[in-house]
Structure 1
C-alpha cells in the first residue's frame, strides 16, 4: 500500500455536471506539504536611484515576484513597494487594483486630485489613496515618491476593492508640518520598556478603531536617538522600511547587518529576529509599512522582544 502523501490530486469519478466536475480532492498527507519560497531579506537601492534621477515620469516597482514564485508583481506576498517620479509640469494617474496605497513625498511639490478632492503636497508629506480611485498626481517641481500598496493581496484573491460608501479607505493627507508636530508630542513623553521606542503611528477616521492606516496595512514613522538602538524583536508580519535619515545606521536581521542607504527600502522577512541601530550624531528616522492589520485582526501578531 502506498503512502497517501504521494497521491496526486483526485478528480471526481463520475461528475454529472460542471459544478461537480470542478471539485478537487486532497488528503491529510498531501494537502499541507506545499513548499513555497521563503520571503528573503532584501535591500532595494536601484529603484530609488532611478526615481531620484528624475529622467521621466514613471513608476519603479520593487518587484521580486520571481523569487517569491508569485504570478504577479510583489515585494512581499501581500505588499508591493514602488518608487515614482513625476517631472515638473507632468501628471501621473494612479488607479492600482489595491485596497489602498500609502505615499511618502521624498522630494518635490504639487497637487493630488482624488474623488473630487485636491491637496497640495510637499516634501515629507504622507497621503493615502483608495484603490481604483484614478487619482492624478501633478508636479509643479519635479517630485519623487515612495509608495506601498496591497496589490499582491488582491491579485492573490482575484478580487477588487469596493468603491463608494462601502469602501474602507478614504483619501487622507498627513502634511509634513503636522507629522513633525505630532512626533514632538510623542517625544515629550517617556518611552517605557513595553514600547519599541518613540514612533508615530498613522491611522485614519475610517480605521481609527483598529489603529491601522488601512484594514490590513500599518504605517509608522520610527525614530532612534543618536547612538542608540532598538532591541532585537520579531513579529509575524513583514516589514518594508524606507530609510529617511540615519548616518551611519544599520539593521541587523538574524544577526546579519544591513547598512542603510539614503532612501533605500529594506525588506525584513516575517518572524525574523531584527534590531535597528543608529551610530550617528543625529536622530535616525525610518518609515515602516507592514501587513500587520491581518495579524492584529487574527490575533496572531506575535510581537516579542528577544
Structure 2
C-alpha cells in the first residue's frame, strides 16, 4: 500500500521555517508483507561465519574487528546487530586503546600478560589491573582503557557498541562495577563442577560468570552473558537453542571437536540437516539466534570454549526463550 500523500504545507505568516511535515514519512503495509521483515534484502538474517586463529597469529599491535556489518546492513564494526567482537594483538612493550562507546566491554586473555589502565572521567574513577592468560575482565561505560603488553598477547574483546549505535544513544553512566575473573578462580569453580557426580547429567558442563550487581539476570553485565564451558572427549551434547546470538571463542581443542547447527530437529531430538563447524584453538564463530546447536568431541582430549552472548539484554526483555531438545531444561 502506498503512503497517504500529505497536502502541501503552508508557511505561517511571519515564520521563516516551513512547518514540520507530519504525514509524508508514514507508510501502511499489509500485515502479511511486514510482520516478519527478517529476510534477505530487507532485515538481513544472521548467518554462520567463522574466523581462524591465523587472524591474530602474527603481525603488528592492532585491533582486529570481526566485522560483518556489510552483511548485516548496519554501521560497523559489528559482529551481530548488537555486539562487536575483536581480537586485540599486542607486541611486547606496546599498547593500544580499546575505544568504543559501549555500556559493557568484556575481555578474555587468550595468551600473554600485561596491564590495563583507565583514567578517571565523568562516568567513573580510574582503574588499574594486571592480567594474564586465561583471565576475563569486564568494564562498564567510561573512558577508553589502555592495554599494555609485557609479552606477546592476544585478547578477545566483545562490546555492545552496535546496540547503542542502533538506539542512537551514548552511555550516561556505569550500570555495574568493573570485575575481574582470574584464571585460577575460574578453574577452581570448573573443577568443583566436574567433581560433582550429578554434573554428568547436565546439558552443558559449564560455569556461568555472573556479577553481584545483577542478581536478576545472573549475567556478567546487564547486556552480556559469558560461559566457561568444557566438552569432554567422546561427548555429544544434546541440542539447545536461545534467541540471543552467541559469539563463540574456542579456548583449547584438538582436531575432532565441532558444533552442529541447524534450524529444525528430527523426531529423535537430533538436528535435521545440520551445518558442521569444526573448531580450532584461538578461532571464533557465530551461532545465530534461534538455531539449534550441539557440541561434539572426538579428539581424545577435553576441549574448552567461551561463548559470549547478548543474553543479559534478552533476559531483561524476557525474550531469551532458551529451549532444550530433551525437554528437561538446564538439567537435561
TM over 0.5: yes
Residue 140, structure 1, aligned to residue 156, structure 2: no
Aligned partner of 2:166 in structure 1 is: 156
**Alignment match, 2:27:** 26
Secondary structure in 2 matching 1:287 = strand
Higher mean displacement: 27-36 or 255-264: 27-36
- Deviations 1:116-139, CA, capped at 9 Å, x for gaps: 232211111101122342211111
Whole-angstrom CA distance in 1 between matches of 2:150 and 2:104: 24
| Aligned residue among 69, 72, 78 for 2:73 | 69
Checking the alignment, whether the CA contact within 8 Å between 2:84 and 2:162 is kept in structure 1 is: yes
Q: In structure 2, what is the Cα distance between the partners aligned to 1:252 and 1:18?
A: 58
Partners of 2:207 and 2:229 within 8 A in 1:
yes
Aligned residues: 294
**What's the secondary structure of 1:96's corresponding residue?**
coil
Name the structure 1 match of 2:84.
80
Does residue 1:238 correspond to 2:257, yes or no?
Answer: no
**Counterpart contact for 1:241–1:288, Cα < 8 Å:** yes
Counterpart in the other structure of 1:49: 54
Bigger Cα displacement from structure 2, 28-37 vs 109-118 = 28-37
Residue 102 (structure 2) pairs with residue 94 (structure 1): no
After superposition, the Cα gap between the structure-2 partners of 1:301 and 1:138, relative to the gap in structure 1 and judged at 3 Å, is same
Partner of 2:304: 285
| Residue 140 of structure 2 corresponds to residue 130 of structure 1 | yes
SS of residue matched to 1:67: helix
Q: What residue number does 1:175 align with?
A: 182
CA distance in 1, matches of 2:168, 2:18: 21
Quote the residue 1:40 is aligned against: 47
> 1:169: how far off?
2.9
- Is contact 2:252–2:281 with CA below 8 Å preserved after alignment? yes
Unaligned runs of 5+ in 1: none
Consecutive unaligned residues in structure 2, runs of 5 or more: 12-16, 119-124, 263-273, 326-332
Q: In structure 1, how many angstroms separate the alpha carbons of the residues matched to 2:66 and 2:98?
A: 17
**SS of the residue 2:237 aligns to:** strand
Give per-residue Cα distances to partners, 1:239-268, cap 9 Å, x unaligned. Answer: 110011222200011111111112111101
Quote the offset at 1:33 in angstroms. 6.4
Q: How far did residue 19 of structure 1 move? A: 7.2
TM-score by length of 2: 0.82
Q: Distance in 2 between matches of 1:289 and 1:229?
A: 21
CA drift at 1:95: 2.9
Deviations 1:171-213 (A, max 9, x none): 21111111101111222322375x4322111112222332011
Q: Say whether residues 1:14 and 2:18 are aligned partners.
A: no
Question: Quick check: 1:251 aligned with 2:255?
Answer: no
CA contact (8 A) 1:237 1:271 kept: yes
Q: Distance in 2 between matches of 1:50 and 1:262?
A: 12
Please state how far the C-alpha of 1:37 moved relative to its aligned partner: 1.2
Decide which of 299, 308, 317 is 1:298's aligned counterpart.
Answer: 317
8 Å Cα contact 1:12-1:20 kept in structure 2 = no
- Give the alignment's Cα RMSD to 1 decimal: 2.1
Q: Which deviates more, 279-288 or 19-28? A: 19-28
